[in-house]
Structure 1
Amino acid sequence: MPFWLKRSLQVFAALIILIIVVFIGLAVYVNVNKKALLVSINKELNRNINGSVTVGAMEPTFLKGFPGVSVSLKNVEIRDSLWKVHHHSLLTAKDFDISVNAMALLRGTIEIRRISINDAEAYLYTDSTGYSNTSVFKKKNAAPVDKEESTSPAEIRRFDLNNVRFILDNRKGNKLFLFAVQDFSGKVDYPSSGWKADVNLKTLVRSLAFNTKRGSFVKDEVLQGKMDIEYDNQLGLIEVKPNILNIGDDPFIIGAKFKIAKDPTEFTITVEARSILWRNASALLAPNITSRLNMFNLDKPIAVKAIIDGNMGAGGDPSIFVNASVKANRLTSPGGVVDNVSFSGVYTNNFINGKGFTDANSAVKLYRFSGSMAEIPFTIDTAFIHNFDKPVATGTFRSKFDVSKLNNLVGDDLLNFTKGTGELKLHYSADMVNFKLNKPVITGLVTVKNADVSYVPRNVNFKNTSITLDFQKEDLLIKDIRLQSGKSIVFMEGSIKNFLNLYYTAPEKIIMNWNMRSPQVYLGEFMGFIGSRKGRASAKSKKKNKVSAGQLNEMLEKGKAEIHLKVDKVHYNKFLGTDATADILLSDAGVYLNNVSLKHAGGSVKLNGSVTQIGALNRFTVNTVVSNVSIRDFFYSFDNFGLRTPTYKNLRGNFFTKTNVSGNITAEGKVIPGSMNGSVVFDLKNGALVNFDAVQNVGKFAFPFRDLNNITFNNLNGKFDIRGEKVTINPMKINSSVLNMDIGGIYSMGPGTNILLDIPLRNPKKDEDITDKKEIRERRMKGIVVHIQAIDGDDGKIKFKLVRKKDRDKTD
């Protein structure tokens, strides 16, 4: 072995032996002077203590502190001076290991280099008056200590806490922090400014309640990671440098500052997660915030940063400020599902400085919000929600879309859009009930162009539809409407007073006021409004992302529409009217017509009426005044009013009538035979009965030399009473160019016809030169009078037979 190596080994061995001898000597010294050292340690620990520190026992643990000296303190307890009042010890520890600088011991001083605390509880208690058991660390008002006895404060270089419960119970400030610390260890350096510590932390957060009335943040989550902590003695500031800590399975960047020089201590905590799921983030907040946030969800992770600023006094909730960034995500909310959503968001519970950190002073702002709901893209410049006690939302909503996408929102079983474009720009302000918009105040425009839409429950279809909705706060103005259904084209404008309030609270009370004009309307294309309404599809058939259209459906079905109508041409089956005006009321009960006036068949028609639904039936009532219309065209237009004979082909003249008639019609607008009741008063001027077979068949035998092909009437008037299939012809006198007759009885559209005719055979032409009306009346029934009865034949047609006068009188 080389000489230098041999000498090196000898020196090294000598040093080892020396250290062992010294260590044994120190161990013997500690063991021999155990009681004195315990007194010294108690004295050192009680320096500047306003209370008491007690150590139940002390045992040397040589190997733990080698080459220093270690002792294990058993049953350590720190109490403040008022412990007997509140009974909360600041610290209780079953095992308190202290490592002491061996060389300092030889000099007669105590320098604590390491503390290890196991199976302990640290309880920082503050009562309702603000008194805290941490006052145990305040200096006593004691006599000055001699300089010979004074020593520098003990410096703890390393520390370990295992299975330690840490509790901060602030009854005045309603704060409760409770940590089950599994590991809290590190080392401490002491620069001139204060101290620095590198810490390893693993703890279960049982409670982090800044306001116990609101509940705990980060409840029952494991907090784990490393922390760099600095204390500035001059500023009285403890700073936790931002570092990565895991809360549960999610990494956070957490930093904090505690101004312990302030009374009460002020703190600022910064928490940042660069990628975290919405529900994971909301679960870390207080229940009053979590309950609201859980009404929403985002499918993909988001970036979020929160700053919690407050104090340990009785100031209530801390200030909370949160920034969030969301990109290309999917939002689920009480109002529906928004796809491809992106925005930057801010939350604060200090919206107005000085109003307190409360729900009422909380606000959310969403910037550059974009997304699509049911494939309809939209943007919101700035969405703003404030006052979480009674939330109010504001913002400006913009969208351009294909209107066929509206089927995804309202459902194609209500309004079925097949084409067209829509655009909207709306500024809204609305209350929020369960975070859904309620009673909004809206200003702005919605325009729809070139749209095809069907109102499915009524089977009414519109093409090339255009509309502009002008929202003016509570009211809605409806402009530039163009509706086309088949060959009908209608231009409309209207308004709904107090629209938004009623839409959300009582849509059945909405009254729509319309002004309508049209070059031509085919009423048959709108018969769906008087037919039976189709039921909507069941909830099971609805798409998952479809929002409720209940209010819209309720408004369309039960709301009322007052329409003031001007139409150039009105078509209804064979009927044609011109220059029509009308006041129409549409309601869930039916259609009501007032002040209807139009020109028809060379004359005029005025009417009032209604069509209502009674069960499966459509009941109509109509009062009409018809003046100077062509009776031929009038009967043609209404399919002879159900009469089999005579028909419009047999009639000529100018017709005047007043009717009061009711009955039932089908969903297609056809009168149900036998359903009519009412009365008809008529007057036919310059009338004629042309080529009427029933008269010709009788007349060719009775009046072979008279012109029965064209029977003219100067004035023909009478009254008919209609009861179902039977029409009662009140006794009336007919004076014609061929013959005169008296007629009365019952005409039936089914079986039951029984009409009596008294026909004088005297030729009326013989009296043409007589001008005295009285004489004409006297001569009218002179001569032979034929009595004819019209009754049902076996073939279902009307048969005429002669009857004797006495038989006729018996029939009467």
Structure 2
Amino acid sequence: MPLWLKRSVQILASLILLIIVIFIGLAIYVGAHKKELQASITKQLNKNLNGSLTVGSLEPTFLKSFPNVSVALKKVEIKDSLWNVHHHSLLTATGFDIAVNTMALLKGTIEIRKVTINDAEVYLYTDSNGYSNTSVFKKKPEKAPVVKDDSSTPAEIRRFELNDVRFILDNRKGNKLFLFAIQDFNGKVDYPSSGWNADIKLKTLVRSLAFNTKRGSFVKDKVLEGKMNIAYNEKAGMIEVKPNVLNIGSDPFVLGAKFKISKDPVEFSISVEAPHILWKNASALLAPNITSKLDMFSLDKPIYAKAVIEGNMGAGGDPSIFVKAKVNDNVLTGFGGIVEQCNFSGIYTNNFINGKGFTDANSAIKLYHFSGSYKELPFTADTVFIHNLDKPVATGIFKSRFDVAKLSNVLGKDVLNFTKGTADLKLQYSADIVDFRFNKPMLAGLISVKNADVSYVPRGVDFKNTSIMLDFKGPDLLIRDIRLQSGKSVVYMDGSIKNFLNLYYNDPEKILVNWKMHSPEIYLGEFLGFLGDRKSSPPVKSKSKSNSFATQINTILDKGSAEINLRVDKVHYSRFTGTNATADIFLSHNGLSLKNVSLKHGGGAIKLDGKLKQNGRLNSFALNTVVSNVNIRDFFYSFENFGLQSPTSKNLRGNFSARTNVTGSVNGAGKLIPGSMNGNVSFVIKKGALVSFDAVKNIGRFAFPFRNLDNITFDNLNGKFDINGRLVTIRPMMINSSVLNMDLAGVYATTGKGTNILLDVPLRNPKKDEDITDKQEIKERRMKGIVIHVLATDGEDGKIKFKLVGKKDKES
């Protein structure tokens, strides 16, 4: 072995031997001076305390922190001066290991290099009056007096380690409770001139992080794990936790904080940022009062979120909370619906109006640049705003353009079935939120539908090329620029509904629409579906919003009412055609009422008032009619001879005027129910003629064989009928015609048996009196000569039979 190497080994062996000797000496020294060392360490640790630190026992553990000397303190407890009042020790620890600087120890001083605490509890207690057991630590004077004594400077702990330590901050005055079950908390501390810096590794279970115990805890029962860098600036009185990545539960967060300990009470600001987290996970980290509000929504995919919590440790109530979120191409569930392809930027704040307090009532959620698709209906909203989370109210402006056929996804197909057309929507809304659903929103704005094909399914009525503009004005609804086409009928409409929104939500059956309608041409037969049985919608299987909306619309259409001012250039019904028609119509769920109806027909005019009571297969009506100077042939033809088998329109000529007051029934197809009419009719026929009327011709075969009975003319014919079902009572009337004169009265059966009409027919030929101008003379000569009495009755073959009767038979 070379000499230099031999000498080096000798020197190293000597050093090792020296260290062994020193440690043996230290062991002997510590063993001999345990009580003095325990007292010295206790004295050192008590230097900055307003209270007491007690140590149950001291044991040397040299090899544990070699080359430093370490001792284990058992049953360590720190109490403040008022412990006897509140009984909350600041620290209780089963094991408290302290490593001290060996060289300093040899010089007779204590310098603590590392503190390890095991199985302990740190309890920071503040009572309801604001007193805290942290007052056990003395405050440094601003300028410490220079006093030389045999003591060293306050202990500076270089390294620390906590295992199985419970940390509790219980502030009864501020209603704050922090409770951490620390599994591992270790690090090292440097002491620059500004204060100190600590690099920490942490793993703890957060049992409570309640800034207001009345609201509940943040991050409750979550494991917080990661590294932190904490700095204390003595001049600024600030402890700062530099932003760093920590895991809260299974999600990584960037966490930073500042604590202004120079303030009384201590002020704090905590920032928590999650670049990629599920909404439900982020919501679960907040206090229950906030979580319950944010859980109005759920999002399927991860989002970006950041929360800033600011407040103080005093009795100031809730801290300020500000949360930001960014959502891209997500699926949002909330307010009773699902929004796909959802995008928005959002914030939550509990300080919406400065000075109103950090409360739910002063909280708000704002969603910016909101877009998505609801049941395949795309929409955008610049801002969705929800405020007062005690009683949440949502406001915003929605815009959308979509194919109206997709409305079936919202309305279903049982009431209104859209198959074609486009819709544009721009609505400003305000709505209460009840049970996480929009409740009775107030609307303002426009909905425009163009070129739509739609079926009103319960009535089986189809409309083509339909357009409509809905204009929401406060509580009212204006309905403008409507075009409805059903078959060959085209109707243009404008309308309004007063107090629409209130009635829609509370009493949809009380909705009244005021309409102004005009049509160049209407075929009433195309709307007969409104007379028939209404098809019932299938029962609603769920309480979804779409079904609720469809139910409300169905109720409005079925049970709502309408007042209509109608103008029609030309109206058609079966054989009837009228022009220049006007009417005031009142529609209700069980029928309609007609007032001020007038139209031109057959060269004359018709006016009427009436009611129709709807009852599916049997619809009853009541009509008061004034017919003025219409062509009787056209009139009878148009109304299918009013159910009469004879005479018919083929037998009648002349100008007809009448007044009617009748009731009756029509079926679902609009056909008159035979024998259903009751009432009375009075009429006048001017310049009339009875053409090829078989009933008269049958008499003429034996009574007037040489007179022309094919065309019987008369200048003025008056009559009154009383209608009672299938029986028409003909009040006594005189007929003065070109062929014969006649008095008649009796009962005519429109169907079946019951006809019994007596005719008094003078055989005198009226032509003989054509040159007489004296009306009184004509009246006196009218019934002179032979008068035959004819009885019209039912024949066995169902046809009317005529027979001559004597004067006695007539009088009887």
Q: Is the 8 A contact 1:452 1:465 kept in 2?
A: yes
| Per-residue deviation, 1:664 | 2.2
Q: Residues 474, 352 of structure 1: CA spacing in aligned structure 2 closer, same or farther, 3 A cutoff?
A: same
TM-score for the superposition, normalised by structure 2: 0.95
| Per-residue deviation, 1:541 | 9.0
Deviations 1:269-297 (A, max 9, x none): 11111111111111111111211222221
Q: Is the 8 A contact 2:742 2:762 kept in 1?
A: no
SS at match of 1:664: strand
| Per-residue deviation, 1:2 | 5.2
Partner of 1:689: 690
Q: Is the 8 A contact 1:351 1:361 kept in 2?
A: yes
Q: Is the 8 A contact 1:49 1:140 kept in 2?
A: no
SS at match of 2:292: helix
Letter in structure 1 aligned against 2:13: A
Deviations 1:211-231 (A, max 9, x none): 122121111222222211111
SS at match of 2:549: coil
Deviation larger for 494-503 or 233-242: 494-503
Give the 5 Å matches for 1:525-674. Answer: 525-540=526-541, 548-614=549-615, 617-674=618-675
Distance 2:548 2:275 in 1: 33
Q: Residues 547, 329 of structure 1: CA spacing in aligned structure 2 closer, same or farther, 3 A cutoff?
A: farther
SS at match of 1:192: coil
Give the 5 Å matches for 1:97-136. Answer: 97-136=97-136
Partner of 1:24: 24
| Per-residue deviation, 1:560 | 2.3
Deviation larger for 3-12 or 501-510: 3-12
Distance 2:4 2:742 in 1: 163
TM-score for the superposition, normalised by structure 1: 0.95
Give the 5 Å matches for 1:158-173. Answer: 158-173=159-174
| Per-residue deviation, 1:775 | 4.0
| Per-residue deviation, 1:556 | 2.6
Partner of 1:279: 280
RMSD over aligned Cα atoms? 2.4
Partner of 1:177: 178
Distance 1:521 1:545 in 2: 34
Q: Residues 107, 171 of structure 1: CA spacing in aligned structure 2 closer, same or farther, 3 A cutoff?
A: same
Q: Residues 666, 18 of structure 1: CA spacing in aligned structure 2 closer, same or farther, 3 A cutoff?
A: farther
Letter in structure 2 aligned against 1:801: K
| Per-residue deviation, 1:577 | 0.8
| Per-residue deviation, 1:615 | 6.6
Give the 5 Å matches for 1:692-711. Answer: 692-711=693-712
Partner of 1:794: 796
Partner of 2:157: 156
Q: Is the 8 A contact 1:207 1:219 kept in 2?
A: yes
| Per-residue deviation, 1:352 | 1.8
Partner of 2:91: 91
Partner of 2:313: 312
| Per-residue deviation, 1:457 | 1.9
1:207 and 2:208 correspond: yes
Distance 1:790 1:219 in 2: 102
| Per-residue deviation, 1:692 | 1.5
Distance 1:596 1:548 in 2: 36
1:64 and 2:64 correspond: yes
Partner of 1:51: 51
Deviations 1:754-798 (A, max 9, x none): 222223242333333344444444443444433333333333333
Partner of 2:376: 375
Q: Residues 9, 704 of structure 1: CA spacing in aligned structure 2 closer, same or farther, 3 A cutoff?
A: farther
Deviations 1:379-432 (A, max 9, x none): 112222222233333333222222212222222222111111222333334444
SS at match of 1:539: coil
SS at match of 1:538: coil
| Per-residue deviation, 1:440 | 4.3
Deviations 1:301-346 (A, max 9, x none): 1111111111111111111111111111111112422111111112
| Per-residue deviation, 1:157 | 1.9
Partner of 2:40: 40
Q: Is the 8 A contact 1:682 1:718 kept in 2?
A: yes
SS at match of 1:18: helix
1:414 and 2:415 correspond: yes
Deviation larger for 795-804 or 162-171: 795-804
| Per-residue deviation, 1:35 | 1.4
Partner of 2:516: 515
| Per-residue deviation, 1:255 | 0.9
Deviation larger for 630-639 or 505-514: 505-514
Distance 2:280 2:152 in 1: 55
Letter in structure 1 aligned against 2:262: A
Q: Residues 127, 692 of structure 1: CA spacing in aligned structure 2 closer, same or farther, 3 A cutoff?
A: same
Q: Residues 714, 55 of structure 1: CA spacing in aligned structure 2 closer, same or farther, 3 A cutoff?
A: same
Deviation larger for 543-552 or 208-217: 543-552
- From 770, 780, 783, the equivalent of 2:782 is 780
Distance 2:802 2:151 in 1: 146
1:451 and 2:466 correspond: no
Q: Residues 3, 666 of structure 1: CA spacing in aligned structure 2 closer, same or farther, 3 A cutoff?
A: farther
Q: Is the 8 A contact 1:756 1:787 kept in 2?
A: no
Distance 2:387 2:543 in 1: 33
SS at match of 1:38: helix
Distance 2:458 2:616 in 1: 16
- The number of residues matched between the two structures is 809
| Per-residue deviation, 1:542 | 10
Letter in structure 2 aligned against 1:102: T
SS at match of 1:712: strand
SS at match of 2:293: helix
Deviation larger for 210-219 or 786-795: 786-795
Q: Is the 8 A contact 2:69 2:100 kept in 1?
A: yes
| Per-residue deviation, 1:43 | 1.5
Q: Is the 8 A contact 1:337 1:545 kept in 2?
A: no
Deviations 1:27-82 (A, max 9, x none): 22222211111212221222121122222222223332233222222222222222
Q: Give percent identity, aligned residues only.
A: 70
Deviation larger for 800-809 or 98-107: 800-809
Distance 1:51 1:788 in 2: 137
SS at match of 1:532: coil
Q: Residues 747, 207 of structure 1: CA spacing in aligned structure 2 closer, same or farther, 3 A cutoff?
A: farther
Distance 1:765 1:113 in 2: 149
Deviations 1:413-460 (A, max 9, x none): 221111112223333344444454445454433222211112222222
Letter in structure 1 aligned against 2:18: L
1:297 and 2:302 correspond: no
Distance 2:5 2:553 in 1: 100
Q: Is the 8 A contact 2:616 2:668 kept in 1?
A: no
Q: Is the 8 A contact 2:756 2:794 kept in 1?
A: no
Q: Is the 8 A contact 1:760 1:780 kept in 2?
A: no
Letter in structure 2 aligned against 1:479: R
Letter in structure 2 aligned against 1:602: G
Distance 1:70 1:563 in 2: 100
Q: Which runs of no fewer than 5 residues in structure 2 stay unpaired? A: none
| Per-residue deviation, 1:733 | 2.7
Q: Residues 788, 185 of structure 1: CA spacing in aligned structure 2 closer, same or farther, 3 A cutoff?
A: farther
SS at match of 1:255: strand
Distance 1:312 1:354 in 2: 19
SS at match of 1:549: helix
Q: Which runs of no fewer than 5 residues in structure 1 stay unpaired? A: none
| Per-residue deviation, 1:189 | 1.8
SS at match of 1:217: coil
Letter in structure 2 aligned against 1:230: A
Q: Is the 8 A contact 1:458 1:532 kept in 2?
A: yes
Partner of 2:333: 332
Partner of 2:750: 749
Distance 1:793 1:6 in 2: 159
| Per-residue deviation, 1:3 | 5.0
Deviations 1:328-367 (A, max 9, x none): 1111112422111111112211122222111222222222
Q: Is the 8 A contact 1:242 1:254 kept in 2?
A: yes
Deviation larger for 694-703 or 773-782: 773-782
Q: Residues 652, 216 of structure 1: CA spacing in aligned structure 2 closer, same or farther, 3 A cutoff?
A: same
